[in-house]
Amino acid sequence: MEVQCCQVVPTEDGLDMYPASQWIDLVQLAAAEALAIPTQTINVKVRRLGGGFGGKVSRPAMLSTAAALAAYKLRRPVKIWLPFITNMNVMGKRYPLLCKYEVAVNAQGVIQYLKADLYSDFGVGGNDTIDNILVDSFQNTYVTDTWSFSTYQVTTDTHANTWTRSPGTLEGMGAIESIFEQISYEMNLDPIQVRLANTDKIKHAKIMDYWKDIQTWADIPARQQAINNFNKQNRWKKRGMSLVPMAWIFGFLGNFSVLVSIVHGDGGIMVSHGGIEMGQGINTKVAQVTAFKFGVSLDKVQVKPSSNLVAVNSSTTGGSLTSEAVVYSVITACDTLIGRMKPVREKMNNPTWEQLVAKCFSQNIQLTASGFFQTNSPSAQTYPIYGICATEVEVDILTGQKIIHRVDIIEDVGDSMSPLVDIGQTEGAFVMGIGYYTLEQCIFDSEGRLTSNRTWNYKVPGMMDIPVNYRIKFPHKNPNPVGILKSKATGEPPTCLSISVPLAIRRAMASAREEADPNQPKWVPFDETTSTDFTFRHSLNHYNDYVI
């Protein structure tokens, strides 16, 4: 992925800044304050990022301000980029989570009381809070009347950690799902039935439909029986399956501006907005919605780079909210233009788009309009995003290596604005979670320095880590009554469903552990990445068992 970088060019009216940032407003304000110059002398422009995932929200301001200072003092263009190892060392990662809990259940696995303390490791930092979103995700789809839990921010001697895709929500959901998994092991109960017994069927009624759907669509009973038969017949290769539900609470934050301009020459449409394109498809959705509103072909629309001139004071791109917010702004701008053009259209006989634009221009109709989204906008309402995932893995007990045979995801996207974009987001988010849970292990020395800071010892998902059979389903006729164009956000929620992967691995390990030593517990707690090495070490291998 693109590392932190920024180019700054001195101009006659100040500085032109080109940062790799998800938040152009922060870049502008930070440079102006550090250099003690007026904010209007700083021009910030971003065409796209080579990936962001939260690490380019607050962190780029440090680098871009340094580049601005050098360019301002030297009066010459300056470009700064961090080598990969330096980037890894100083920019921070996800917040590690420690969950201490005590839970009591009845014979059916229904929680009678749960007391939990959740500690988030902020390193030496602490400016990117996650406690509020951690709370929602920890409750997930369950009845929480008998639960009590608290969240804490912990300072350690490691680098300052930061927001990363699904910050807090991934950790919170991972924590509660591991608790339910342990309950099923300790009580010798079906993990699906334990989850269903604790589900809030009134507040989260939709998730019950998904539970029912995935049983038939993903053929769960037959596959589970096949897994049981496979494990009985094989000692050194084991399979496991895990199903987890999700209720991801979506909310809007901040504001975003949009400018839509129509060119009279041939009716071309230009759009610039306050969001940042970083691979999530925001520009695609903006172009599609613009073309839809005006009734023109997609090739008539071009999305221009984001800038602080067009979209001044816009919030950061993140939290899966920006595509929805920017599209809302686009709709309001398009509606303004359609309203201006309506009297002209009504006097014409079924004009083409080009004829209508030319006529409006000749009658001095303003063909530029802005749109604005803010948290008090009518469509800025909180809503839940539901999902459910079944993951099946095969583990080589002799090496710890895994194959993810199959993943089935039902993802609640409402009426998708752009199904191909949303499928890509769902696939990518889940695979990113696979990396977090099974590959990307942070190792620190005794003084808090990161030692796994290069591709030699910090591994990200590759082609062999992608599920062999990867199936994603968006429920049909599923409009979101409070969503933009009846849709729902997709960028982050599927990441949380990836907890099913290490849980499935533990199911395979449990079969091996039971055969190796029935007196040992089958459940293996989460105390590090579920890596190949971890899986091998916790499968109770012993050389005396290696008999041909």
Ordered structural domains, the chain, with CATH: 5-90 (3.30.365.10), 97-250+381-545 (3.30.365.10), 256-373 (3.30.365.10)
3-class secondary-structure state, position 305: coil
Evaluate whether 267 touches 300 at the Cβ level (below 8 Å).
yes
Q: Length of the chain in residues, anyone? A: 548
How far apart are the C-alpha atoms of 435 and 442, rounded to whole Å?
12
Per-residue H/E/C for 411-449: ECCECCCCHHHHHHHHHHHHHHHHHHHHCCCCCECCCCC
Return the percentage of the chain with pLDDT > 90, whole number: 93
Predicted local distance difference test score (pLDDT) of residue 327 = 96
Predicted local distance difference test score (pLDDT) of residue 543 = 87
Query: Average pLDDT, stretch 171-178?
Result: 98
Evaluate whether 285 touches 420 at the Cβ level (below 8 Å).
no
pLDDT exceeds cutoff 80 at 531: yes
Predicted local distance difference test score (pLDDT) of residue 542 = 87
How far apart are the C-alpha atoms of 112 and 114, rounded to whole Å?
7
Predicted local distance difference test score (pLDDT) of residue 125 = 82
Query: Average pLDDT, stretch 175-200?
Result: 98
Residue 69 is encoded by which pair of tokens? 């200072």
Q: Which helix (H) or strand (E) holds 117?
A: strand 111-121
Predicted local distance difference test score (pLDDT) of residue 504 = 98
The one-letter amino acid at 105: V
Confidence of residue 377 (pLDDT cuts 50, 70, 90): confident
DSSP state of 137: H
160: CB partners within 8 A, 6+ apart: 92, 122, 123, 124, 125, 126, 127
- Residue 27's nearest CA partner among 105, 74, 90, 80 is 80
Maximum Cα–Cα distance across the chain: 91
Confidence of residue 411 (pLDDT cuts 50, 70, 90): very high
Confidence of residue 266 (pLDDT cuts 50, 70, 90): very high
Over the Cα atoms of the chain, what is R_g?
A: 26
How far apart are the C-alpha atoms of 325 and 335, rounded to whole Å?
16
What value does the mean pLDDT of the chain take?
96
538: CB partners within 8 A, 6+ apart: 509, 513, 524
Predicted local distance difference test score (pLDDT) of residue 433 = 97
Q: Is the whole model's pTM more than 0.85, yes or no?
A: yes
Round to the nearest angstrom and report the end-to-end CA distance of the chain.
45
pLDDT exceeds cutoff 80 at 126: no
Predicted local distance difference test score (pLDDT) of residue 127 = 75
Pairing mode, strands 111-121 and 97-105:
antiparallel
Predicted local distance difference test score (pLDDT) of residue 1 = 78
Predicted local distance difference test score (pLDDT) of residue 260 = 98
pLDDT tens-digit readout, 20-49: 999 999 999 999 999 999 999 999 999 999
pLDDT exceeds cutoff 90 at 545: no
pLDDT tens-digit readout, 422-464: 999 999 999 999 999 999 999 999 999 999 999 899 999 999 9
Higher pLDDT, 24 or 545: 24
CB burial of residue 223 (10 Å; 0-12, 13-18, 19+): middle
Q: What angle do CA 322, 476, 434 make, to 5 degrees?
A: 55
DSSP state of 464: G
Query: Average pLDDT, stretch 252-281?
Result: 96
How far apart are the C-alpha atoms of 175 and 134, rounded to whole Å?
10
How far apart are the C-alpha atoms of 181 and 248, rounded to whole Å?
20
The one-letter amino acid at 359: K
pLDDT exceeds cutoff 80 at 348: yes
3-class secondary-structure state, position 31: helix
Q: State the alpha helices, DSSP H only, in 36-161.
A: 60-74, 84-90, 131-139
3-class secondary-structure state, position 385: strand
Evaluate whether 329 touches 289 at the Cβ level (below 8 Å).
no
Query: Average pLDDT, stretch 196-225?
Result: 98
3-class secondary-structure state, position 261: strand
Evaluate whether 84 touches 3 at the Cβ level (below 8 Å).
yes
Least confident of 77-91, 126-140, 526-540: 126-140
Residue 6 is encoded by which pair of tokens? 């920024």
How far apart are the C-alpha atoms of 311 and 370, rounded to whole Å?
9
pLDDT exceeds cutoff 90 at 273: yes
Predicted local distance difference test score (pLDDT) of residue 132 = 86
